Amino acid sequence: MTLIIVLLAASALFGIGLYGALSQQSFVMLMMGLELMLNGALLAIIGFWSRGLGGMPEGQLLAIIVMAVMAIEMAIGFALVVALYRKRQADVTEAIGTLKR
């Protein structure tokens, strides 16, 4: 596979994730859109690493850091969603109103 195909796939993932994050009202779908955006960025990073750096470990380290950030983001995000649901019984973004209470 060429770098152009990998970057097209990465941009498609990022675009689908952006659409999903901006168009959905459910918290779970919003989080899935953000995850797709991060996966697209990770695919682009790995594509550039494999074609550009010739196997140097810096690209692998960056990919591992991005995967760790993705896991932390999902854990914190779903914990916030569960806490918000328990507190206000809100499962969509429109039901929140304000976060002060």
On whether residue 35 sits in a domain, the answer given is yes
- Lowest average pLDDT, out of 3-7, 26-30, 61-65, 94-98, goes to 94-98
CATH code assigned at 57 = 1.10.287.3510
The tens digit of pLDDT for each residue in 68-92 reads 988 898 888 888 888 877 877 776 6
pTM of the model: 0.74
On whether residue 19 sits in a domain, the answer given is yes
The total domain count for the chain is 1
Q: What torsion, rounded to 10 degrees, do the Cα atoms 76, 68, 16, 22 define?
A: 30
